Amino acid sequence: MICRLCIRDFAVIDELDVEFGSGLNLLTGETGAGKSVIVDAISIALGERADTETVRSGCDRAIVEAVLEVGNSPEALRILADAGISPEDGSIIVSREVSRTGKSQCRINGRPVAVSLLKEITDRLVDTHGQHEHQFLLRADRHLEVLDAWCGQEVLSFRDRVADGYSELRRLKSELHQLQNDERDRARNIDLYQFQIQEIANSRLTPGEEEELIADRTRLANAEKLHAAASAAFELLGEGDRCSADTLGEAVMALQGLAEVDTQLQPMIESLQAALYQVQDGARELRAYRDGIEFNPDRLQEINERLDLIRTLKKKYGEMIEEVIGYGDELRDKLELLTHSEERTGELQAEIESLEAKVMADAKQLSALRLKGGSTFVKSVVKELASLGMPSAVLEVSRRAHELDLSGIDSIEFLVSANPGEPPRPLARIASGGEISRIMLAIKSVMAAVDSMPTLIFDEIDVGVGGRTAAVIGDKLNSLAQNSQVLCVTHLPQIACSPGRHFAIEKQSHEGRTVVRVRELSDEERVTELARMLGGAAPSDTAIQHAREMLGGNA
């Protein structure tokens, strides 16, 4: 529901802040007072096209902001959740800013959003009827939803079954199309996959192999240097004329005979003895290392060739050996699918044929239920139209068959003839705004039990009606207001006297300029406003008395 509307520098409105309530909200005022401007501002807040001409003269931009309660609309909540927007206390704040330069900004809870997202949300929250845009029922693509909602749970269940079946059919057909799309591509891919699998398998790659090969190559490439260094070190430690082992041995022998003379020498002797053993061990290890150094140009060439192969495979299939091996496993899975595609093709064709028959049977049953429900829908709406001053109105539910889709095999559109002798035509082509509004009111009246639209706006609904018909319209608006918020712009006292909140729209002069003001009327002010509507700007005592009688217990 629309909880609050704030407008700044919009058309003839300098600044306006009005709070609407649940139930019926009546807006009245003299012709040209600015009632249509209020509705236009609401439409822009709901996502309709914003025109630079709406910016108040002398201002750079116009701003329209609305607080919308969304807690009772699961669809709106779902769309908001998908967009990552969370309502606060069940409400959102939507705002539109229109610049004189033509730029427009749209926000929800202060977050910039596309206007299309705003409209997708508000289409689930507000339905406007009258000589304005944002008219849900004037869109033929929505008529099917209206009829299905009227028909009830059995139709909605069949529709869900058809939608689920159709979605599965599309998935299966997509898979089949992919398999059959290009047989030559499939054959080429089989050859390619087989070649790549064989290339990777023949390489016999092992994890960690490349690092080991690089280390081996480095040793082989530097064999001479390693042999020379090991030989020189070995001679210094254990083989030369004055090698370290001999020198240490002589030092130990020189001191051993004096250990008995001075016991302090014993630890030194032991240290030198340990060093001698370590030098001898080191010399032996160096000799073994030197003798084991390989001078093998053939092996070096073999390693280089192996590393070249690994680099080639990595360039084709992955940055690491493990990735190359993993890619080979993926290719085997793909090849398995391709080589068994003929078998899968047959399975898919059988599944599609079976499912298609089932879904078409459900779609035909759904169509029959719609046809049955459509006849009672027509009777109910025509009855409502008669009570609204259109006794000759004719309503038809036009059905055209089309190929199966998510909604079935039906294309539905409501056709109406408002006058005798005129053939039924689409709702959008009816010229009179008053007739459109009464037709919408009739449809809304019969849909009241199943419709979930939180807010209904009726603008100029009383054009061309009066007397008894106007009173009936008031009763129906009051009935709708039991389950939805209703905003009604009216010229007729028979409607304005309905129980609800009453707002007067007035033009005033402020600082030499015309401005629009909106104020909620007290009970006594409602009497005065109704008397004005009955008897003009200076109502008589009779008009005031009549107004009191019309308001009854509300005055």
pLDDT tens for 42-97 read 999 998 888 888 888 888 899 999 999 998 888 899 999 999 999 998 999 999 99
Any domain includes 28: yes
Contact 475, 146 (CB under 8 A): no
Both structure tokens of 167 = 């979605």
Any domain includes 332: no
Q: H-helix or E-strand containing 487?
A: strand 485-489
Mean pLDDT lowest among 100-114, 202-216, 466-480: 466-480
Q: Where are the alpha helices (DSSP H) in 236-264?
A: 244-256
pLDDT at 183 over 70: no
Both structure tokens of 360 = 């078409």
DSSP conformation letters of 261-309: T-TTHHHHHHHHHHHHHHHHHHHHHHHHHHHH----HHHHHHHHHHHHH
Contact 153, 402 (CB under 8 A): no
Instruction: Look at the block and give the residue holding tokens 């940055």.
Output: 319
Rg (CA), the chain: 45
Considering the entire predicted model, what is its pTM?
0.61
Of 502, 451, 528, which Cα lies nearest the Cα of 23? 502
Of 434, 445, 458, 502, which Cα lies nearest the Cα of 42? 458
pLDDT tens readout for residues 365-409 = 999 999 999 999 999 999 988 888 888 899 999 999 999 999 999
Contact 483, 454 (CB under 8 A): no
Q: What share of the chain is helix, strand, coil (3-state, %, to 5)?
A: 55, 20, 25
At residue 199 the predicted structure's pLDDT band, cuts being 50, 70 and 90, is very high
Q: What is the dihedral of CA 174, 363, 449, 138, to 10 degrees?
A: 70
The Cα 110–Cα 97 span in angstroms is 12
**Which CATH number covers residue 92?**
3.40.50.300
Tell me what the mean pLDDT of segment 251-280 comes to. Answer: 81
The Cα 116–Cα 123 span in angstroms is 10
At residue 190 the predicted structure's pLDDT band, cuts being 50, 70 and 90, is confident
Q: How many residues does the chain have?
A: 555
Any domain includes 311: no
pLDDT tens readout for residues 221-264 = 888 888 888 778 877 877 766 677 777 877 888 788 777 777 78
pLDDT at position 394 = 92
The Cα 168–Cα 177 span in angstroms is 14
Number of domains in the chain: 1
Q: How far is CA 42 from CA 45, 47, 336, 448, in A?
A: 5, 9, 60, 23
Domain hosting 4: range is 1-125+499-520
CA angle 458, 463, 467 (to 5 degrees): 105
Of 40, 158, 24, which Cα lies nearest the Cα of 476? 24
Any domain includes 355: no
The Cα 113–Cα 313 span in angstroms is 48
Any domain includes 111: yes
